[in-house]
Amino acid sequence: MINKNTISKFAIGMVSVATLLSGFAVTANAQTSATTNSNLAKVISRSDTAISTRIDALNKLSTRVGQMKNISASEVSSISTEVQTEINNLTTLKSKIDADTDITTARADAKKITNDYRIYALVIPQTSIIASSDRITTLVGMINAIQTKLQARVTTAQNTGKDVTALTAALTDMTAKLNDATSQANTAQSGVVSLTPDQGNTTTASANKAALLSARTNIKTATADLKAARQDINTITQELKAIK
Amino acid sequence: MSKSKIIGIVIVIIVIVLGIMYFNGSSKSNSASNTNQATNTTQTNTNSTVSSPTDNSDASLNNDVSNIDAQLNGLDTDVSSTTPSSDSTQ
């Protein structure tokens, strides 16, 4: 038989167990909340760093764009505006992430830093290719000018009966290299000028990357052409001294 | 000494003094002229070191080559930033 005393002991025991369990639950909830806050702070901190490094890189790029000489003023203005828009958008996104209060929203916003802007995957290489193309055009003009001067000296040497075979060959090579550099630079620029961020579309991302790599190859070929033309200048000046 | 002898000596002294004065003046004039010529030469030399766009002097060529080398270095810097990130999360 269960007496009153046993029932009261059982009741006290149950109350104690219930109190204990509720204590554990409160502690667990507090720990979960602390972990969530810690993770949120980490997402915000990582996002801030990622945005700051991108804005720094974009500011440097903006300075470089301002130095371009051969692209039309309207194109320079268009590229500068595009870079500045990226900076403004990233700054706005940073403010939003800093104000996020739940981890899910913060993570979604953090993903936008890469998916929506593609600073390292597209904007910086794209603008650097356009800037390289611009500088190649500048260099072609400079080397053309010196080529005219060297041609005059070669003609003078030829008129005084000197053998200018090697000199003429170097001048011809210089012309070919300058023509190829111009062609490669134009191809590079036209291949990337209209690319836009992929917004997470893998097909567009692959196409953008392929276009950038192809344009980079064009720029590297043009650079090699210009260095070869520079070597031709050395060859001609040394040969002119030798046959004096 | 007679009066005519004294007059003769005075005339000779005047001629000698005038001669000395003329010689000094001529010398100064030549000196100034030489100085001017030297100045002009300096100016000519200074002018010859300024290169025009069509200048085909050695100095001008060397200057052109230096500018080309500086631009080639800048191009290397530009090219180093043309690689798209291989990380798909960039």
Chain A residues with CB-CB distance to B59 below 8 A: none
Q: Is ipTM strictly over 0.90?
A: no
On whether the pTM is more than 0.90, the answer is no
Question: A139: which 2 tokens?
Answer: 């260099």
B4-7: long-range contacts, CB 8 A cutoff, minimum separation 24: none
Is position A143 within any domain? yes
**Contact flag B68-A142 (C-beta cutoff 8 Å):** yes
Q: What is the mean pLDDT of chain B?
A: 69
CB pairs below 8 Å between A and B: how many? 87
Q: Does the residue A146 lie in any domain?
A: yes
What is the predicted pLDDT for the residue at A27?
A: 60
Counted domains in chain A: 1
Say what the pLDDT of residue B49 is.
39
Q: Among partner residues B56, B64, B85, which is closest to A153 by beta-carbon distance?
A: B56
Residue B1: the pLDDT is 64
Residues of A in contact with B66 (CB under 8 A): none
Residue A226 domain flag = yes
The two structure tokens encoding residue A25: 């639950």
Of A108-112, B46-50, B70-74, give the lowest mean pLDDT range.
Answer: B46-50
B74 SS3 class = helix
Phi-psi region of A161 (alpha: psi -120 to 50; beta: other; left: phi over 0): left
* Position A85 in a domain: no
Each residue's pLDDT, cut to its tens digit, for chain A (244 residues) gives 566 677 777 667 666 666 665 665 556 566 666 677 889 999 999 999 999 999 999 999 999 998 888 878 888 888 888 899 999 999 999 999 999 999 999 999 999 998 888 899 999 999 999 999 999 999 999 999 999 999 999 999 999 999 999 999 999 999 999 999 999 999 999 999 999 888 889 999 999 999 999 999 999 999 999 999 999 999 999 999 998 8
Whether B61 sits inside 8 A of A149 (CB atoms) is: yes
Tell me whether residue A133 is in a domain.
yes
Q: Pick from A75, A85, A80, A79: which is nearest to A116 by CA?
A: A85
Note the pLDDT of residue B89.
58
Q: What is the average per-residue pLDDT within B72-83? A: 92
What would the pLDDT profile of B15-36 be if each residue is shown by its tens digit?
887 777 776 655 554 444 444 3
Identify whether A192 is part of a domain.
yes
| Strand spans (E) along A23-176 | none
Interface test with A, best of B62, B73, B78, B89 (most A CBs within 10 A): B78
Q: How far is A219 from chain B (nearest CA, A)?
A: 7
Whether B72 sits inside 8 A of A233 (CB atoms) is no
Q: In this structure, is residue A76 part of a structural domain?
A: no
User: Is A183 within a domain?
Assistant: yes
Residues in chain A: 244
Confidence band of B53 (pLDDT split at 50, 70, 90): low
Pairwise CA distance, residues B3 & B54, whole Å: 79
User: 3-state SS of A80-91?
Assistant: HHHHHHHHHHHH
Whether B70 and chain A come into contact, CB under 8 Å, resolves to no
Return the pLDDT at B35: 40
For A32, the token pair is 């979960």
Residues in A touching B90 (Cβ below 8 Å) = 114, 118-121
Cα A168 to chain centroid, rounded? 42
C-alpha–C-alpha distance, residues B47 and B40, integer Å:
10
State residue B36's pLDDT score: 39
With an 8 Å Cβ cutoff, is A114 touching chain B? yes
Q: Which domain holds residue A181?
A: 119-244
